[in-house]
Amino acid sequence: MSELTTIARPYAKAAFDLAVEKSELDQWSEMLTFAAEVARNETIEDFLGGMHSAEKLTEIFLSVCGEQLNEYGQNLIKVMAENGRLKALPDVCAQFMVLRHDYEKQVDVDVVSAVALDEAQLDAIASKLEARLERKVKLNCSVDETLVAGVVIRAGDLVIDNSVSGRMRRLSDALQS
């Protein structure tokens, strides 16, 4: 998959630069998300793996996408089809989102807690993370009862494990060493 990421990076960068230039970040995010889902479709994925001409691939892909893509989005699909890169569309979308979050100084944070957190707790977590990371924070919350108590926070490479199970694991490791 790292090969697809390498292939996707220049396409994502070109789409991102155009989206910023035209002030269409939201529209491009929607178009790329839709195109990535189409590329992930099992039938389309099998079709992309076959021996078809670039024109046929473009025609089929654009007929499925319909009005979801503007003229620039359609051009991206044509160029990627000509270069045999349509399988990389999900990675293009992911790279585009990374560029967008970096541009908007936003980070997605996964918060896993033992019990559902209330608004005050979420606001406190968000404000402390915004100060620490110097970015806008978007919380993605979930509940995992196996944590016993506490929370585990993941923001990119940063992991803050303040759960009882995490503390028990660290205590066990310390005692064994």
Against a cut of 0.85, is the pTM above it? no
Residue pLDDT, tens place only, 47-91: 766 676 777 777 877 777 778 888 888 888 888 888 888 888 888
Mean pLDDT, residues 128-157: 86
Amino acid at 142: S
- Nearest CA to 48 out of 77, 73, 23, 26 is that of 77
Q: Is the model's pLDDT at 120 over the cut of 90?
A: yes
Mean pLDDT, residues 118-130: 91
What are the extents of the domains in the chain? 2-102, 105-176
| Half-sphere exposure in the Cβ direction for 170 (13 Å, CA) | 8
Mean pLDDT, residues 100-106: 83
| Residue bearing the bigger pLDDT, 156 or 133 | 133
| DSSP states along the chain | -HHHHHHHHHHHHHHHHHHHHTT-HHHHHHHHHHHHHHHHSHHHHHHHHS---HHHHHHHHHHHHGGGS-HHHHHHHHHHHHTT-GGGHHHHHHHHHHHHHHHTTEEEEEEEESSPPPHHHHHHHHHHHHHHHTSEEEEEEEE-GGG-SEEEEEETTEEEEEEHHHHHHHHHHHHH-
CATH code given to domain 2-102? 1.10.520.20
pLDDT at 50: 65
Q: What is the 3-state secondary structure (H, E, C) of 101-113?
A: HHHCCEEEEEEEE
If pLDDT is split at 50, 70 and 90, which confidence band does 1 have? very low
Lowest mean pLDDT segment, chosen from 44-53, 91-100, 108-117: 44-53
Mean pLDDT, residues 98-112: 85
- Above pLDDT 90, what percent of the chain? 6
